[in-house]
Structure 1
Amino acid sequence: MHVVVNAATSADGKLSSRRREQIAISGEKDFARVDRLRADSDAVVVGVGTVLADDPSLTVKDEQLCERRREQGDPEQPARIVVDSTGRTPTDAAIVDDAASTYVCLSEAAPVDRRMDLADRAELVTAGEDRVDLLRAFAALEAAGLERIMVEGGGELIFSLFEAGLVDELRVFVGPTVIGGRDAPTLADGDGFVAEFPTLTLESLERVDDGALLIWRADG
């Protein structure tokens, strides 16, 4: 499995404001890049916080990219994956519509009624007691044939993936704006590291409009 974390941050490293509302950090050129990255993936992953805040569909928008996927023998859309320990994903969320297949990763703490509701809308993957065990969940996803994984946030999930040693690549568009706020989400939130910090090797740096796209390889 190859896991790519993709994010857009402000110049001060924020994903959005302290209100956790969606903010347009990048422009059309970067949107097109993200669409291509989705099209090259078997699945796109977000945490349930992103689902509740933004209600994303996580689908490829460019019809030519969809056609290319069909010609390659792939489903028109990559699968969508939600990491959701307690089953908070709404059954009317865009991510569980019929535009593409969806997997919801739960822990054993998810209530039975929520499991039953979500089972009508998605494939369920249970791993972990109180929180989703990402190593076990991603192993199950890989066994289901999902090998090229794109992660789109949020900060809690990204931190947890680094903590689990699952990240192979980090792509960040840094936009020309400052958001600020001690409570605003950052690229990697969670508990934070205090030792043995994950290290990265810079693969490329490209100017995109008035921002910059940085691509790092995780050193393992």
Structure 2
Amino acid sequence: MHVVVNAAQSVDGKLATRHREQLRISGSEDFDRVDRVRAAADAVLVGVGTVLADDPHLTLDEEDRRVQRLRSGRPGHPARVVVDSTGRTPTDARILDDAATTYLLVSEAASPGRREKLRAAGAEVIVAGDQRVDLTAGVSELADSGIDRLMVEGGGEIIYSCFAAGLVDELHLYVGSMVIGGRDAPTLADGEGFVDAFPRLELAGTERLDDGIVLSYDVVEGADRESEGDE
């Protein structure tokens, strides 16, 4: 499977304020770029923290892209994936509508009763891991379901966990012209952080959009350390 991480951050590396409120960092040009990256993916992955904070839909914005996918024999929208160790996703979350298939990666810590409620709400529940989701095992299950290209949209805990598991192949990072600040504000790669075996990146391209810049990287060496993640 090919895994692409996409994110937008301020110049000081923050994804949002310390209150973790949704914040517009980029503009219409970058929104269109993100929609294009989504359209090329088989599935879009976020952590449950993103679902709880933003209630995203994670579908395509441009109808022409949806139609092109249908004409090529693919579903109109990419599948949606939530990493949710204990099954905290609300049963009325927007990602559980019938616009696209939604996979919930949970661990054994999610009770059988909760799993059944999420299935009844429309989710395809995949159990991977004991107390926390084992991302390597979960991604393998997604690959077995036909997902070849996965787009990871965050947040910072999930992005860190994907790098720590050695799963990331590409990183696309929009850097907006603003400063957010705050020692408790989320960053691109939260979690425990690396002290050795740092993921190594190679700059593959730059593109100026809106009042910021998109930095595109290929991952040339993964950390290949931990494989558990949640948000």
Which band: TM-score by shorter chain?
over 0.9
Q: Whole-Å Cα distance in 2 between the matches of residues 177 and 14 of structure 1?
A: 10
Question: SS in structure 2 opposite 1:152?
Answer: strand
1:136 partner SS: helix
Moved more, 113-122 or 20-29: 113-122
The equivalent of 1:73 in structure 2 is 73
Kindly state the Cα deviation for residue 116 of structure 1 after the two structures are TM-superposed. Answer: 1.1
Question: For 2:90 and 2:210, how far apart are their aligned partners in 1?
Answer: 36
- Residue type of the alignment partner of 2:5: V
Indicate the residue corresponding to 1:25 in structure 2.
25
Q: Find the counterpart in structure 2 of residue 156 from structure 1.
A: 157
SS in 2 for 1:200: strand
Counterparts of 1:126 and 1:96, CA distance in 2: 17
Preserved CA contact (<8 Å) 2:26 2:211? no
Matches within 5 A, 1:1-220: 1-120=1-120, 121-220=122-221
Shift of 1:113: 2.0
Q: How far apart are residue 213 of structure 1 and its match? A: 0.3
SS class of match (1:24): coil
Following TM superposition, the consecutive aligned residue runs of length 4 or more in structure 1 with deviations greater than 3 angstroms are none
Can you list the C-alpha shifts for 1:33-74, whole angstroms capped at 9, x where unaligned?
001111111000000000000000000010000010011100
Q: Distance in 1 between matches of 2:43 and 2:207?
A: 25
Q: 1:117 aligns to what SS in structure 2?
A: helix
CA distance in 2, matches of 1:128, 1:21: 29
Q: Which amino acid aligns with 1:3?
A: V
* Structure 2 CA distance for aligned equivalents of residues 41 and 24 of structure 1: 23
Summarize deviations over 1:107-157 as a string: whole Å, max 9, x none: 001122211111112111111101100110000000100011000000000
* Cα displacement (A) at 1:209: 2.0
Supply the distance in 2 between the matched residues of 1:68 and 1:13 (Cα, whole angstroms). Answer: 35
1:142 is paired with a residue whose SS is helix
Q: Which runs of no fewer than 5 residues in structure 1 stay unpaired?
A: none
Partners in 2 of 1:116 and 1:124 — Cα distance? 9
SS of residue paired to 1:219: strand
* Letter matched to residue 109 of structure 1: A
In structure 2, what residue type is equivalent to 1:208? L
- RMSD across aligned positions (CA): 0.6
Q: In the TM superposition, what is the alpha-carbon distance from 1:23 to its structure 2 partner?
A: 0.3
One-letter identity of the residue aligned with 2:104: V
Letter in 2 for 1:23: L
TM-score, with length taken from structure 1:
0.99
SS at match of 2:178: coil
Task: Provide the rounded CA distance (Å) in 2 between the counterparts of 1:17 and 1:48.
Answer: 18
Q: Distance in 2 between matches of 1:26 and 1:99?
A: 26
Q: Is the contact made by 2:202 and 2:220 (CA closer than 8 Å) also made in structure 1?
A: yes
